[in-house]
């Protein structure tokens, strides 16, 4: 049975007294108390039953903060929600056929009430249609404003499952009714440090193939909730063990067990997942106090390049070129996971038995684009992943040769600020390549190269990327050119000469452009 550890709260504290559970309204903020009291009185005045359900009750029982209060009621829920919003001087929003939202703003805090119609004719029927037993507990809304202990409506023993930190399905078809619950189960396990009931675990595996029936936008939201907290690789492996990982990302099916050259400790699939772990490790080290970094296993030997890297990244943050927190985000972890996605389709073995993955970055770009599009990610996130996949090998390759100004310039002309992210993922890639084996001199060279790249970009950017001394429109008019790739090549050629100190004025640029165009004829 797999347990998750990222959640740092306490185990559920549930006070029972012959079936009664004590809910202390005084544990809520004053504004929450006021809103819930007003809502309870409103439904009573309308002669409608109203119940707190789902995550609201779960969080109350766990004594954890709740910002969204789930209420089910008899009667016309949308009409009642509109009237309640007016009474509370809040805002009304229609979410979908099953729910309306009332939002109340009190100073800097926002309280949300999601009002939904009762599913079925009774609250018990409603609870039997939910996903997991810990979400299938209800409390009469008016009961929580009483000082007296109240008995929860708990037909499926959800309170006992909360006490045991156990995630159990309400019925055996919950994943068939809504396949997105397959990912929600993993998120609940992570967030609340729950173990999975054996029967529910079997259902998770047997119904895994249904996941693709969910809307891409909903899958995106669940995946983006699963990846940021530390331990993402553990959750990815759990998805893989239960057939969810390759259902979501079938491009990894041939990567399982695919051997790599001897420098690599892991096969392609394990290496890809371990790169996510390595990125988290790098992020953790870079957050340590500077005086501790020389003792880090990643320090780069006597050169202290990890200290230099941390300092450079702090400067990049001050210049708003980069955010260290970005390393823990879902897009960066997806980039780390997908960086070698082109390897399965490019693997070859030569006559000597040597394994090669020629041009796998280029081959991986369209695959990564398709995956990110399938996951309904933003254009910005797709661009980040594309650039990481296409360029992740460059910093390591540059560490094997003298690093010239032209090479540095080319790197940042191609990538801009994203070059910082690519360089850091290249370090995570190196760490993952080694696995549990000790780091070698190659790591020190790689780290030093990344530091030199970032130094030139963060501290000496104007010297490697000087402002353009001529614009594309001027070249088009002067030489009667048609807009197209040639203009980009011409501007790049001029910029390289400018960075090398060969030209210094617009006249110089025009002379160079004329010479370049003559050679193209």
Residue 294: other Cβ atoms inside 10 A: 14
119-133 mean pLDDT: 94
| pLDDT bucket at 223, cuts 50 / 70 / 90 | very high
Cα distance between residue 455 and residue 408, in whole Å: 10
Residue 6 has pLDDT above 60, yes or no: no
Instruction: Give per-residue pLDDT as tens, 436-487.
Output: 999 999 999 999 999 999 999 999 998 888 888 889 999 999 999 888 888 8
Instruction: Give per-residue pLDDT as tens, 283-342.
Output: 999 999 999 998 899 987 655 689 999 999 999 999 999 999 999 999 999 999 999 999
Provide the token pair at 125.
Answer: 């029927």
Closest to 397 (Cα-Cα) out of 350, 446, 331: 446
Phi, psi of 517 (to 5 degrees): -70, -35
- Give how far Cα 259 sits from Cα of 160, 263, 267, 269, 292, Å: 47, 11, 5, 9, 37
- Give how far Cα 55 sits from Cα of 5, 63, 114, 506, Å: 20, 12, 11, 65
Determine the pLDDT at residue 25: 52
Q: Does domain 171-248 have CATH number 1.10.110.30?
A: yes
Provide the token pair at 119.
Answer: 């599913």
C-alpha dihedral, 506 to 510 to 515 to 521, nearest 10°: 150
Residue 12 has pLDDT above 70, yes or no: no
Average pLDDT of the chain, as a whole number: 90
Burial per residue of 410-421, b for 16 or more beta-carbon CB atoms within 10 angstroms, e otherwise: bbbeebeebbbb
CB-based contact 80:46 (threshold 8 Å): yes
| Of the candidate ranges 184-198, 345-359, 495-509, the one whose mean pLDDT is the lowest | 495-509
Provide the token pair at 434.
Answer: 């080694």
The architecture that CATH gives domain 16-164 is 2-Layer Sandwich (3.30)
Determine the pLDDT at residue 491: 86
- Give how far Cα 324 sits from Cα of 142, 173, 225, 259, Å: 46, 43, 19, 33
369-398 mean pLDDT: 97
Instruction: Give per-residue pLDDT as tens, 16-35.
Output: 443 555 555 545 778 888 88
Return the domain boundaries, the chain: 16-164, 171-248, 263-464, 472-520
Provide the token pair at 483.
Answer: 């807009």
Residue 3 has pLDDT above 50, yes or no: no
- Whats the size of the chain, residue-wise? 521
Instruction: Give per-residue pLDDT as tens, 189-216.
Output: 999 999 999 999 999 999 999 999 999 9
312-319, Cβ contacts within 8 angstroms, sequence gap of 24 or more? 312/451, 312/454, 312/455, 312/458, 312/459, 313/286, 313/420, 313/454, 315/458, 315/459, 316/420, 316/454, 316/458, 319/458
DSSP string, 173-189: THHHH-TTHHHHHHHHH
Name residue 196's beta-bridge partners.
167
Chain-centroid distance of CA 244 in Å reads 17
| pLDDT bucket at 492, cuts 50 / 70 / 90 | confident
Instruction: Give per-residue pLDDT as tens, 258-267.
Output: 999 988 999 9
Q: Which residues contact 201 (CB under 8 A, 6 or more apart)?
A: 1, 242
116-133 mean pLDDT: 94
Task: Return the DSSP state at 150.
Answer: B
pTM of the model: 0.87
Cα distance between residue 102 and residue 329, in whole Å: 30
Determine the pLDDT at residue 302: 59
Determine the pLDDT at residue 147: 63
């Amino acid at each position: 049975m797999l347990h998750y550890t990222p959640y740092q709260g306490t185990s559920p504290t549930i006070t029972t007294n012959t079936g009664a559970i004590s809910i202390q309204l005084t544990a809520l903020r004053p504004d929450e108390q006021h809103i819930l009291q007003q809502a309870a009185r409103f439904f009573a005045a309308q002669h409608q039953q109203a119940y707190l359900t789902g995550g609201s009750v779960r969080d109350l029982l766990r004594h954890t903060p709740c910002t969204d209060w789930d209420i089910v009621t008899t009667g016309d829920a949308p009409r009642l929600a509109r009237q309640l919003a007016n009474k509370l001087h809040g805002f009304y929003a229609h979410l979908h056929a099953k729910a309306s939202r009332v939002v109340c703003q009190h100073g800097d805090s926002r309280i949300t009430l999601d009002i939904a119609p009762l599913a079925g004719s009774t609250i018990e029927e409603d609870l039997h249609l939910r996903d997991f037993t810990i979400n299938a507990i209800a409390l009469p809304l008016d009961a929580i404003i009483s000082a007296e202990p109240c008995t929860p409506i708990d037909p499926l023993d959800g309170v006992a499952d909360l006490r045991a930190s156990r995630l159990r399905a309400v019925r055996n078809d919950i994943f068939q009714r809504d396949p997105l619950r397959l990912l929600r189960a993993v998120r609940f396990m992570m967030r609340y440090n729950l173990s999975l009931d054996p029967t529910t675990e079997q259902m998770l595996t047997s119904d895994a193939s249904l996941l693709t029936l969910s809307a891409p936008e909903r899958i995106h939201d669940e995946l983006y909730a699963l990846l940021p907290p530390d331990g993402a690789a553990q959750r990815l492996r759990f998805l893989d063990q239960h057939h969810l990982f390759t259902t979501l990302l079938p491009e990894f099916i041939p990567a399982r067990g695919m051997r790599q050259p001897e420098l690599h400790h892991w096969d392609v699939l394990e290496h890809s997942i371990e790169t996510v772990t390595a990125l988290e490790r790098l992020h953790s080290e870079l957050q340590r106090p500077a005086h501790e970094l020389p003792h880090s296993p990643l320090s780069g030997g006597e050169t202290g390049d990890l200290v230099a890297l941390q300092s450079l990244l702090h400067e990049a943050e001050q210049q708003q070129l980069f955010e260290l927190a970005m390393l823990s985000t879902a897009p960066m972890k997806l980039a780390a996971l997908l960086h070698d996605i082109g390897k399965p389709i490019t693997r070859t073995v030569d006559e000597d038995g040597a394994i090669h993955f020629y041009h796998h970055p280029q081959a991986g770009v369209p695959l990564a684009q398709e995956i990110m599009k399938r996951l309904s990610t933003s254009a910005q996130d797709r661009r980040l992943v594309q650039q990481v996949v296409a360029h992740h090998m460059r910093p390591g390759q540059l560490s094997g040769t003298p690093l010239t100004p032209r090479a540095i310039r080319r790197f940042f002309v191609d990538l801009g600020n994203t070059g910082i992210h690519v360089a850091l993922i290249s370090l995570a890639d190196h760490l993952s390549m080694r696995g549990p084996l000790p780091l070698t001199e190659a790591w020190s060279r790689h780290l030093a190269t990344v530091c030199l790249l970032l130094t030139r970009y963060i501290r000496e950017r104007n010297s490697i990327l000087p402002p353009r001394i001529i614009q594309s429109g001027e070249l088009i008019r002067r030489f009667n050119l048609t807009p197209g790739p040639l203009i980009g090549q011409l501007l790049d050629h001029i910029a390289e000469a400018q960075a090398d100190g060969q030209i210094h004025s617009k006249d110089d640029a025009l002379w160079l452009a004329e010479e370049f165009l003559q050679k193209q004829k």
